Amino acid sequence: MKPGEVARFKSPAEIRAECDSVGISPDSQVFLYCFKGARASNTLVALRAAGIENVRLYFGSWNEWSRDPSLPIEEGLPFVA
């Protein structure tokens, strides 16, 4: 980004196109997380602005989940159910 430019979200059409490429539709249920929830919150705002309404944020995110040895951790590439 150049000095003086303001960071912005992609357009709703661009966001929907990226969602389509990974199998997310306006009817999908989406759960977001990152290390502690801060970056994932931007994704939540962008998805909702693009018409993906059923989006939830796990605020504690990976930082909380990974510290509890009783919780499952899946490995490998993500898949479409």
Q: Which residue reads 């970056």 in tokens? A: 39
- Domain ranges for the chain, please list them: 22-65
Q: What is the C-alpha to C-alpha distance for residues 58 and 39, in angstroms, rounded to an integer? A: 11
**pLDDT single digits (tens) 37-77:** 888 999 999 999 999 999 999 888 888 888 999 999 888 88
29 compared with 37, residue with greater pLDDT:
29
SS3 47: helix
**pTM metric for this prediction:** 0.73
The three-class DSSP label of residue 31 is strand
